[in-house]
């Protein structure tokens, strides 16, 4: 009825009705734009009043739990997004693996053929026999190297990465780790609070010093080069790294210098129906070779009376 009425009107009345409706829609758009620009004006005014530094600090702290004064990169490392957009993993790398081999006295050629670039995890048991690190690496050793105001500590806090894992509420920087209570650091009290951290060392002078205590693993292919970046993981029994997958460039070796660490390797979700989850312990003096870009992994320190210390590096 109404529609027939509309079409029965003269053309100038039709135009008047149409223009009236269009005007209402246009007003709604203008009002929406005015509201958005009003919010932007309030936001920019608050920035100029409070300061961009304080706005960024508050935003990153509340949304991403990132301290902008201690992070080299302000792009949040959202593991969920990394998982979503990672390349699909071929299940060939894991479908025939039901345990982690422990081997020794392997040649470079055999290691390169079977393990180096096949994403097949393996433990080498005899590559640390002459390392001074076995006797010298402990909490106090690293505390001396990364002492307050040292170039080593500034290098980590200014340019490298630091992972406090479950202790993020109390360890904002590596310096906090080496300022902890002596009894807790050395597990003197039976009811001590566990801790576990990891950091990368990208200070060349510190890397040179650390590498006086360990040598390039003998099994790495001759043309292979280790990264100039060292990774160090240290902590007490009862803690470790959560299940995750890395976003790094290369496979890595990780040497268990002190303590015992339990590893759990899990295949990518697309391989759950084919591959098995693997759990094993790396003992002191052993090196695990693992591509952490394709294997989900978590660790848990299982030593009874000493902290775990692991040092490692990527290789190409």
pLDDT digits (tens, 9 = 90+) for 159-211: 889 999 989 889 999 999 999 999 999 999 888 899 999 999 888 889 999 99
Q: Write out the H or E segment, with its range, that includes residue 290.
A: strand 286-290
Assess if residue 35 is contained within a domain: yes
In a domain, 300, yes or no: yes
Tell me: do 49 and 187 sit in the same domain.
no
CA distances in angstroms from 272 to 71, 142, 163, 222, 275, listed in the order given: 35, 40, 28, 35, 6
> Which three-class secondary structure state does DSSP give residue 82?
helix
From first to last of its 316 residues, the chain has per-residue pLDDT tens of 454 544 555 554 544 554 455 455 555 666 777 777 766 766 666 655 566 656 555 565 555 455 555 554 545 455 555 565 667 788 998 998 999 999 999 999 999 999 999 999 999 999 999 999 999 999 999 999 999 999 999 989 888 899 999 898 899 999 999 999 999 999 998 888 999 999 998 888 899 999 999 999 999 998 887 677 889 999 999 899 999 888 877 889 999 999 999 999 999 989 989 999 999 999 999 999 999 989 999 999 999 889 999 999 988 8
In a domain, 21, yes or no: no
What is the length of the chain? 316
Q: Domain range holding 121?
A: 79-314
C-alpha 237/C-alpha 306 separation (Å) is: 8
**Whether residues 37 and 88 fall in one domain:** no
| In 73-138, alpha helices (H) | 79-85, 108-111, 133-136
In 3D space, the residue among 177, 147, 180 whose CA is nearest the CA of residue 162 turns out to be 177
d(CA 15, CA 182): 85
In the chain, the number of structural domains is 2
- Cα→Cα distances 74→57, 70, 127, Å: 10, 10, 38
Sign, CA dihedral 243-249-250-255, equals: negative
Same domain, 191 and 292: yes
Nearest to 143 by CA among 109, 185, 112, 110: 185
Cα distances from 41 to residues 36, 38, 45, 67, 101, in angstroms, run 9, 5, 6, 27, 63
CA distances from 252 to 77, 187, 191, 293 (A): 20, 30, 35, 10
42 shares its domain with 164: no
Could you say which of 35, 65, 95 is where a domain stops? 65
Distance CA 111, CA 234 (A): 28
Does 119 reside within a domain? yes
Residues 54 and 130 in one domain: no
């Amino acid at each position: 009825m109404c529609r027939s009425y509309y079409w029965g009107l003269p053309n100038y009345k039709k135009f008047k009705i149409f223009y009236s409706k269009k005007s209402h829609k246009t007003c709604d758009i203008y009002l929406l734009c005015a509201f958005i620009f009003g919010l932007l004006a309030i936001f920019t005014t608050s920035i100029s009043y409070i300061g961009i530094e304080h706005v960024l600090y508050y935003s990153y702290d509340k949304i991403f739990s990132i301290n902008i004064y201690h992070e080299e990169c302000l792009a949040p490392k959202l593991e969920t997004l990394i998982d979503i957009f990672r390349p699909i993993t071929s299940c060939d790398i894991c479908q025939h693996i039901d345990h982690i081999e422990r081997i020794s006295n392997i040649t470079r050629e055999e290691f390169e053929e079977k393990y180096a670039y096949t994403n097949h995890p393996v433990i080498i048991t005899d590559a640390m026999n002459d390392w001074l690190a076995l006797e010298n690496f402990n909490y106090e050793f690293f505390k001396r190297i990364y002492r307050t105001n040292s170039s080593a500590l500034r290098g980590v806090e200014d340019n490298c990465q630091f992972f406090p894992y479950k202790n993020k509420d109390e360890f904002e920087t590596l310096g906090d780790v080496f300022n902890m209570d002596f009894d807790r650091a050395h597990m003197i009290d039976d009811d001590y609070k566990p801790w576990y951290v990891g950091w990368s060392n990208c200070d060349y002078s510190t890397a040179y010093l650390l590498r006086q205590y360990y040598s390039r693993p003998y099994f790495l292919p001759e043309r292979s080069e280790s990264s100039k970046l060292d990774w160090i993981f240290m902590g007490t029994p009862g803690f470790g790294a959560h299940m995750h997958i890395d976003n790094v460039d290369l496979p890595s070796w990780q040497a268990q210098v002190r303590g015992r660490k339990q590893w759990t390797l899990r295949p990518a979700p697309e391989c759950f129906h084919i591959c098995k989850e693997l759990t094993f312990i790396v003992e002191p003096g052993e090196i695990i070779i693992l591509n952490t870009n394709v294997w989900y992994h978590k660790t848990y320190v299982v030593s009874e009376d000493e902290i775990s210390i692991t040092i490692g590096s990527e290789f190409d």
